[in-house]
Every structure is written in C-alpha cells, then in structure tokens.
Amino acid sequence: MTINTSFFADLSTYSPQKSIQFYKNVFGWNYYRTEDYYTAFIDHFEVAGLYETPKKFKQMRMPHFWMTYIKVQNVNNVVEKAKQLGGIIEID
C-alpha cells in the first residue's frame, strides 16, 4: 500500500437499509453485517463500510457523509501539519 493514498472509505448514513439497497443496485455491492457496521464487498474484496450516523451527529444535523481513510507514514506529523493548515482534529 502506497503512503499518502486512500485505502478504504465508509458511509455514515441516517438510513442504512436504504443506502445498502442503493449501492447494491448501483454497484452490485453485497454486505456482511457485524454489530451495527456493514462491510460492502464485490466478490471477496472489501470495497467500503457503512454505518448509521451516530446520535450526536444527527443532533448537530450533520448530513450523511463519506469518510476516507488515508495511509500515512507518521500520523502525529500529519495531525500537526493539518492543525497548522487549519484542519480540525476530532478525537473520540
């Protein structure tokens, strides 16, 4: 896996079942469920994840969103650089 490239994405959605059906119809994704998280597959390859938007985000009226994961060489350096450039770092 190449540094500084995306390697996975997941969708935070208010309507998991509707979103699952939509992406299944559009891309042919099949899903495997673990607890409250769904992993989308094409054949045997993971392509994305999907979960219901957390309550705190719903209360903030945050829209559905895709979150992309990026492989970096040093997460602390990237976090500091992001802060310096005006990025918001959320730690839960």
pLDDT band at 90 (very low <50, low <70, confident <90, very high): confident
pLDDT of residue 92: 65
pTM, two decimal places:
0.77
pLDDT at position 91 over 80: no
Contacts of 31 (CB under 8 A, 6+ apart): 20, 24, 38, 39, 40, 41, 50
**Selection from 73, 67, 75 nearest residue 48 by Cα:** 67
pLDDT tens-digit readout, 21-73: 999 999 999 999 999 999 999 999 999 999 999 999 999 999 999 999 999 99
Rg (CA), the chain: 15
